[in-house]
Amino acid sequence: MAPKGTAAQTPGFAASLRSFLAYIRIECGLAPASIAAYGRDLDDLVGDLVSRGVHSPGAVEAAHLAEHVRYLSRVRALDSVSIVRHVSTVRVYFRFLHARREIPENPARLMERPTKWRRLPGTISPAQMRKLVEAPCADHGALFVRDRAILELMYAAGLRASEVASVRLNQWFPVIGSMSVVGKGSKQRIVPVGAHAAQAMARWIETQRGELVAGNEIQADHRLFVSNRGKPLERVAIWMIVKKYAAVAGLHDVHPHTLRHCFATDLLRGGCDLRTVQEFLGHSSVVTTQIYTHVDKTRLREVVSKFHPRFDH
């Protein structure tokens, strides 16, 4: 993985990178997280190109880009989803440069956009999830109250790490047990929050949060979750918290999205309809949500057996 800022610090690419990032930020209106993802992909691209002796966009050929994709697959061993995103970034970047006539030809014009494979989401059992969310205690740091509230909320509402990090205090409505969340594409949704998560957040807000913020809500940016210095908690910190308590609970290969997957999986297992789960997750299309229907084949058979007149009767 190329160091952050590789593209910006490479003379031949720096100017085009600034123009491109300004374009996707101002004209396309992409969210900060999406812009950061584009930046990381371009850092990887430029780092690989420079290692091959290519020092400017005008010198890039289709063969170089093909080699870059092979590098991502064979050397970096990235999964298909990450490679698809990389390819999409490369295509948009060079199409932008060609449209502005900064390069005579678009070397990415023949790059095929591979089909985005839908991987089955990783989940853990309800018993394992309980171990995870109940793992934070005084033995694991002074901010265990905050960490418990974060884990409970992620599982209770199916939030992404970025959504947890960005949610503000006034987006939580304890009286009705609901939260307003701004997700991908700046889409807003309302999600219900269960009693366990509500109690954990009340404990965090009424005790530790006030002490850490110390009345300086400007520094805290009014975020619901803050660091030990009273500053907004970043998405990376959410990842670290989840990984920390997964290790404490003796769980492997658990990350923030695992809690989101389990939220959706357990709702469907409990009988919730797919359309409602789509709304809770903030998916723009129910097709994205359908991947969770794999989760409980036994339940699917039971449903068919119950409602179909000539199935196992």
Active site residues: 160, 184, 257, 260, 283, 292
Measure CA 246 to chain center.
18
CB 153 within 8 A of CB 197: yes
Which residue, chain included where needed, has tokens 């020092």? Answer: 55
Which residue matches tokens 């807003």? 188
Reference 289, options 274, 271, 273, 300; nearest CA is 274
Give buried/exposed letters for 101-122 (b at 16+ CB in 10 A, else e). Answer: ebbeebbbeebeeeeeeeeebe
Q: What is the largest CA-CA distance in the chain?
A: 73
Question: Collapsing DSSP states into helix, strand and coil, what is residue 182?
Answer: strand
Tokens of 129: 């999830």
Task: Round to whole Å and give the CA distance between 89 and 107.
Answer: 13
By residue count, the chain amounts to 313
- Token digits for 292? 């969770």
Residue with tokens 């002074």: 142
Distances in whole angstroms, Cα of residue 258 to Cα of each of 83, 124, 169, 274: 21, 8, 25, 18
> Across the strands, what pairs with 191?
179
